[in-house]
Amino acid sequence: MKYTSIEFSAHAVQRMFEREIGADAVISVVQKGEFIAKYDNDTPFPSVLMCGDYEDITLHVVVGFDTESDTARIITVYVPSLDLWEDGYKTRKKK
C-alpha cells in the first residue's frame, strides 16, 4: 500500500509499551513485512494483518490505510503465539 506517513493509535502505543516493542520494529514490519490477511470491511479504514521479522522476533501488525491522506494507521501490534498460528506465523490454526 502507498502511504506518506505512519500514525500509531493509542491502543497500539499501549500494547507496544506493555509488550516492549519499539516503533522501529513496527515500522520495519509495515515497510518490509508480508500481508497475511485483509479486512476490507474494517472501519474507519480497510486494514491488513502484516507479518514480519525484526531482529530476533516475529511480529504481527494490524494496519489501516487512510487513502484520502495516504496515512498508515497502526491499530495493534503483537508477538504471535504458536498456540494460535502455524509454524511461520502466517496461517491461523484451525479450531
CATH number at residue 27: 3.30.2310.20
Q: Would you place residue 3 in the very low, low, confident or very high pLDDT band (cuts 50, 70, 90)?
A: confident
- Beta sheet of 34-39, edge-to-edge order: 5-8, 71-78, 57-66, 47-54, 34-39
Say if 10 falls within a structural domain. Answer: yes
Is residue 15 within a helix (H) or strand (E), and if so which, with residue range?
helix 10-19
Q: For the whole model, what pTM was predicted? A: 0.91
Using CB atoms within 10 Å of the CB of residue 83, give its burial: 0 to 12 exposed, 13 to 18 middle, 19+ buried: exposed
| Domain tally, the chain | 1
Range of the domain at 30: 5-78
- Strand-pair category, 5-8 with 71-78: parallel
**Residue 90 covered by a domain:** no
Does residue 1 register a pLDDT over 70? Answer: no
pLDDT score at 95: 78
pLDDT at position 46 over 70 = yes
